[in-house]
C-alpha cells in the first residue's frame, strides 16, 4: 500500500488555512468583520452551485486527479525512456507550460538538483526555457550536449510564437548533430486534433502527449504539461495527483466555512472591495519560492478583466506580488508593516522541513551572537515567520497563513489544486470569465502582425497607424 492510500496519513498531511489575522479582533478597524462573510451566504451558495455545474464543462481541469490512469502509465514509461537515454531534459514552453514545471521541480527535488553529480540525481538535468532572449538562447548551447538532450515542446495551440521559435532552433541543431534520428529527441505536448504542433508531431513520428479539452494553460500542471517533467526527475506523480484528489474532497464542501479554497477566495474578494488591490504570497521555504511565480500567473491572468459576464466595464483584479521569507523581510516587509493598507499578505508555511541543521557553538563569548547557538536553522526560520506575521498583524494589515505539514508530492498536489479552485471561485464572485485572456491575445496578435504572419495584415496596418512617438518626450 502506498502511503497516500492510508487515510490516517492523508489526514495528517492536510493543508490548513488560518485566517484569524484577516479579522478585526486581530488587526483592528482595517480588518474584516466575520459578519460580512455570513451576510453573503446566498452569494457564496450560488457561486458554489455554479462551480459544480461547470465541473464537466468549463472546469474540466477539476477531473485531472481522477481520469488520467492510462496517461500516467504512459508518462512513467516515457520518463523511463528519457532517464535511460539522455543526460538533459529541456522543457520548451511559456506561461503555465513553464511556471508549473519549475514550481513543482523546485518544491520536490533537491534544491541544487542540476548541480548534483549524475549518480545523486533522480533523473537528467532539467531546464525550463521560458524566454526568448537571444543571449539566453545562444548561451544554452554552451551548457548542454544536444546529442544527449531530450526536448519537451509544450503548446496546446501549436501557435505560441516563443515556443515554436525555440522548436525551430533546437530541431535545426538536432538535425545537424544527430541527423535523421532527431525525432527521438523530441516529445510534443499539445492538442490532440488541431494546431501546428500536432501536425508536426504526426508527420515526424514524435512521441506525443495531449492537453485535455477544457484545460487551459494556467490550470494544466496536473496533466502531461507538468507531470512529464516531474516524472522524469523522479517525482511521484501518482502521489501528486492523490494530493489534488484529497483537496478536491475538501473543496466539494458547500459551506464556505468548511471549504478552504472558497474561504480564501471570499476573503480576497472582500479585501479587494476594501481597497486591497495587491496580494502578496510569501513562502517561508526555498522549496516553495517558485510556487509564488506560478500562483502569480494563475491569479493575475484569471482575474484581471475589464468586463464582467454581461459585458459591463469592471476593470477588476488584484496584483499578485511574490516575496520570499526570510529574504524579503529585509527588502519588502517595511512596506507591508508601515505602508498603505492596500495589501493582503499570505504566508506559506512549512511545519516540518526535510532537513534539520544545527547552529553550532563557535563564538560563545559574544552574547549577541551566542544566543543563536544550540538552536537550529529550522527554529530560526520558523521564528522569523512567526515574528513577521506578528509585526504585520500588529501594524493593522490583513494577513493569513497556509500551512503545509511538510513538503512532499501529496501536499504540493493539494496546494496546486487549492489555488486553482480558489481562483475559479473568485471568478464566480467577481462575475467574470476566469478562463480567458483577451489582453494576452492582443499582444500575441500584434507580435504575429509585426513578424508578418499571414492573416494579420489588418493588425499590421493598425500598428502602423498608431501615433508616432515624439522626440521631445525621449530624454
In three state form, how does the secondary structure of 137-197 look? Answer: HHHHCCCCCHHHEEEEEECCCCCCHHHHHHHHHHHHHHHHHHHHHHHHHEEEEECCCCCHH
Model pLDDT, residue 446: 87
pLDDT (mean) for 304-332: 97
Catalytic residues: 301, 330, 444
Contact 423, 415 (CB under 8 A): no
Model pLDDT, residue 441: 87
DSSP 103-148: HHHHHHS-TTGGGS-GGGSSSSEEEEE----HHHHHHHTTT--GGG
Contact 50, 254 (CB under 8 A): no
- Tens digit of each residue's pLDDT (9 = 90 or more) over 268-286: 999 999 999 999 999 999 9
Assess whether pLDDT exceeds 90 at residue 66: yes
pLDDT (mean) for 183-211: 96
Residue % of the chain over a pLDDT of 70: 100
C-alpha cell of 224?
A: 502531461
Cα–Cα distances in angstroms (integers) from residue 333 to residues 51, 163, 322, 389, in the given order: 36, 37, 12, 10
Assess whether pLDDT exceeds 90 at residue 392: yes
C-alpha cell of 120?
A: 545523486
Q: Which domains does the chain have, with CATH numbers?
A: 3-57+239-430 (3.40.50.10490), 61-238 (3.40.50.10490)
- Tell the burial category of 359 from Cβ atoms under 10 Å away from its Cβ (0-12, 13-18, 19+): middle
Q: For all residues of the chain together, what is the average pLDDT?
A: 96
- Tens digit of each residue's pLDDT (9 = 90 or more) over 436-463: 998 888 888 889 888 899 999 899 898 8
Strand partners, 127: 90
Q: For 391-420, b where at least 16 C-beta lie within 10 A, e where not — what string?
A: bbbebebbbbbbebeebbbbbbbbbbbbbb
Choose among 302, 473, 461, 325: nearest CA to 399: 325
pLDDT bin (cut points 50, 70, 90) of residue 431 is very high
- Element housing 207 (H / E): strand 207-210
- Tens digit of each residue's pLDDT (9 = 90 or more) over 416-429: 999 999 999 999 99
pLDDT bin (cut points 50, 70, 90) of residue 137 is very high
Contact 123, 232 (CB under 8 A): yes
What is the rounded CA–CA span in Å between residue 221 and residue 101? 7
Contact 302, 218 (CB under 8 A): yes
| Residue 346, SS3 per DSSP | strand
Assess whether pLDDT exceeds 90 at residue 58: no
Q: For 284-308, b where at least 16 C-beta lie within 10 A, e where not — what string?
A: bbebbbbbbbbbbbbbbbbbbbeee
C-alpha cell of 345?
A: 499578505
Cα–Cα distances in angstroms (integers) from residue 36 to residues 111, 151, 260, 400, 425, in the given order: 42, 51, 17, 17, 17
Model pLDDT, residue 215: 95
Model pLDDT, residue 440: 87
More confident residue, 214 or 351: 351
Contact 137, 169 (CB under 8 A): yes
C-alpha cell of 65?
A: 486527479
Model pLDDT, residue 308: 96
| Residue 343, SS3 per DSSP | strand
What is the rounded CA–CA span in Å between residue 407 and residue 287? 8
Model pLDDT, residue 449: 87
Model pLDDT, residue 444: 85
Q: For 111-132, b where at least 16 C-beta lie within 10 A, e where not — what string?
A: eebeeeeeeebebbbbbbbbee
Assess whether pLDDT exceeds 90 at residue 207: yes
C-alpha cell of 181?
A: 534520428
Is the pTM higher than 0.85?
yes
Amino acid at each position: 500500500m502506498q502511503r497516500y492510500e492510508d487515510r490516517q496519513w492523508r489526514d495528517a498531511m492536510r493543508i490548513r488555512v488560518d485566517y484569524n489575522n484577516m479579522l478585526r479582533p486581530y488587526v483592528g478597524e482595517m480588518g474584516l468583520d466575520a459578519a460580512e462573510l455570513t451576510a453573503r451566504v446566498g452569494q457564496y451558495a450560488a457561486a458554489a452551485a455554479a462551480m459544480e455545474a461547470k465541473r464537466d464543462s468549463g472546469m474540466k481541469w477539476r477531473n485531472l486527479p481522477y481520469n488520467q490512469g492510462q496517461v500516467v502509465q504512459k508518462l512513467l514509461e516515457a520518463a523511463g525512456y528519457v532517464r535511460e537515454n539522455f543526460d538533459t531534459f529541456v522543457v520548451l514552453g511559456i506561461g503555465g507550460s513553464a511556471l508549473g514545471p519549475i514550481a513543482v521541480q523546485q518544491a520536490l527535488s533537491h534544491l541544487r538538483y542540476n548541480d548534483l553529480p549524475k549518480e545523486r540525481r533522480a533523473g537528467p538535468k532539467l531546464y525550463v526555457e521560458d524566454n526568448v532572449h537571444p543571449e539566453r538562447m545562444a548561451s544554452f548551447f554552451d551548457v548542454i550536449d544536444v546529442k544527449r538532450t531530450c526536448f519537451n515542446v509544450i503548446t496546446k495551440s501549436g501557435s505560441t510564437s516563443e515556443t515554436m521559435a525555440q522548436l525551430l532552433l533546437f530541431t535545426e541543431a538536432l538535425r545537424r548533430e544527430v541527423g535523421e534520428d532527431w525525432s527521438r529527441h523530441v516529445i510534443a505536448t499539445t492538442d490532440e486534433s488541431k494546431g501546428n504542433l500536432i501536425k508536426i508531431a504526426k508527420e515526424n513520428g514524435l512521441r506525443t502527449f495531449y492537453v485535455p479539452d477544457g484545460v487551459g494553460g494556467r490550470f494544466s500542471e496536473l496533466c502531461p504539461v507538468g507531470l512529464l517533467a516531474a516524472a522524469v526527475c523522479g517525482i511521484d506523480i501518482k502521489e501528486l495527483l492523490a494530493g489534488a484528489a484529497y483537496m478536491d474532497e475538501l473543496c466539494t464542501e458547500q459551506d464556505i466555512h468548511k471549504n478552504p479554497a472558497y474561504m480564501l477566495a471570499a476573503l480576497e474578494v472582500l479585501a479587494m472591495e476594501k481597497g486591497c488591490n495587491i496580494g502578496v504570497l510569501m513562502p517561508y521555504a526555498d522549496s516553495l519560492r517558485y510556487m509564488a511565480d506560478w500562483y502569480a500567473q494563475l491569479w493575475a491572468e484569471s482575474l484581471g478583466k475589464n468586463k464582467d459576464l454581461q459585458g459591463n466595464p469592471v476593470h477588476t483584479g488584484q496584483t499578485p506580488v511574490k516575496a520570499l521569507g526570510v529574504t524579503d523581510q529585509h527588502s519588502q516587509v517595511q512596506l507591508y508593516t508601515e505602508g498603505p493598507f492596500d495589501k493582503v499578505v499570505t504566508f506559506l508555511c512549512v511545519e516540518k522541513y526535510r532537513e534539520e541543521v544545527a547552529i553550532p557553538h563557535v563564538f560563545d563569548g559574544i552574547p549577541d551572537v551566542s544566543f543563536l547557538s544550540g538552536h537550529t536553522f529550522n527554529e530560526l526560520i520558523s521564528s522569523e515567520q512567526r515574528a513577521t506575521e506578528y509585526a504585520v498583524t500588529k501594524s493593522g494589515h490583513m494577513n493569513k497563513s497556509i500551512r503545509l505539514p511538510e513538503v512532499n508530492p501529496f501536499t504540493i498536489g493539494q496546494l496546486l489544486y487549492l489555488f486553482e479552485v480558489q481562483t475559479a471561485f473568485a471568478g464566480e464572485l467577481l462575475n467574470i470569465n476566469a478562463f480567458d485572456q483577451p489582453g494576452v491575445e492582443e499582444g500575441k496578435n500584434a507580435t504575429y502582425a509585426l513578424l508578418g504572419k499571414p492573416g494579420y495584415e489588418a493588425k499590421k496596418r493598425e500598428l502602423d497607424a498608431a501615433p508616432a512617438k515624439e522626440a521631445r518626450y525621449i530624454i
